[in-house]
Structure 1
Amino acid sequence: MSTLARRPASSLLPDLWEMFDATWPFGTRHPMHIEDFVEEGAYVVRAELPGLDAAKDIDVSATDGTLTITAQREETKKEQHRSEFRYGSFTRTVSLPSGADTSKISAEYKKGILEVRVPIAAPPEEHKVQIDVQQD
């Protein structure tokens, strides 16, 4: 069990643990956690985005072989409080696999999880090329 220690709201020094927990260029931590996998002919990306209004706060787009998920969480200011929530704008971009059909992307938001499905076209069958042999 963990206990949150309260600190004065007017603290001049930032919480050092928050600094180490933040996203760093060389770190692996990100405020938007995702997972991806291939299932039933589709590339699936799932993102944890609890407490958001999918119609207003989340945007999904695809261009140039990438899928981008952007979310915005607004902070409500309160007197003397502690919050470990992440606020602001969060963006994750992933490369789409070859054969991804971006014209048929679908997205569903349920219980704080955004699931994006990108159909993957079957790889084209091998085409044998006939070689013409020229006689001198």
Structure 2
Amino acid sequence: MTGMIERLPGWPALPDLFGWVESGLPGVHAVRALHGIRVEEQLADGKYVLRAELPGIDPAEDVEITFAAGVLTLRAERSEETTEKHRTELRSGTFARSLRQPAGAKHDEATAEYKDGVLTITVPVPEAKKAGTRTIPVRHL
């Protein structure tokens, strides 16, 4: 080998494969697709903070945040329309992400803010009491 990647005969190149995955299955035209949301989580100072990248959405209309059974679920929907001289293209998709919350998270006190394409959700979490280390002796019978 000379440092180049060789393809087996009949196998597509990786960029072609990635293009196929992004465009979907041939012959199937989905109106809505489910995508992931890039997030950053942090637990510090008695609060859980989730930052999610959601550029180009209207947070009042296109975002839903729910809590159930210790799981925060974030859903967002985006529609985009591009118009050229003789062509209009519509693209839409639903984005979703579910994340387990720390024990004791106070969901009824959660807040959410949207600025510059980033949604920040803050959930108060009581600090866990630190248990001391205890050594348990083993009895020999």
Which band: TM-score by shorter chain? Answer: 0.5 to 0.7
Query: 1:35 matched to which residue of 2?
Result: 40
Q: Is the 8 A contact 2:110 2:123 kept in 1?
A: yes
TM-score (norm 2): 0.62
Show structure 2 runs of 5+ residues with no match: 1-15, 25-34, 132-141
RMSD: 2.7
Q: Deviations over 1:54-107 (max 9, x none)?
A: 1001111111100011000113254277x9xx7311110000011111111110
**Structure 2 residue corresponding to 1:100, chosen from 93, 98, 105:** 105
Letter of the 1:74 counterpart: S
* Alpha-carbon distance, 1:16 to partner: 4.5
* TM-score (ref. length: structure 1): 0.64
Per the TM alignment, residue 18 of structure 1 is displaced from its structure 2 partner at its CA by 3.2
Match of 2:64 among 59, 65, 68: 59
**Corresponding residue number in structure 2 for 1:122:** 127
Judged with a 3 Å threshold, the aligned counterparts in structure 2 of structure 1 residues 98 and 22 are, in CA distance, closer, same or farther, namely farther
User: Which residue matches 1:48?
Assistant: 53
- Provide the residue aligned with 1:19 in structure 2: 20
Q: 8 Å contact 2:36–2:97 — kept in the other structure? A: no
Aligned pairs, how many? 103
1:89 aligned partner: 94
More strand per residue:
2
Aligned-partner Cα distance in 1 for 2:103–2:58: 31
Tell me which amino acid in the other structure corresponds to 2:62: D
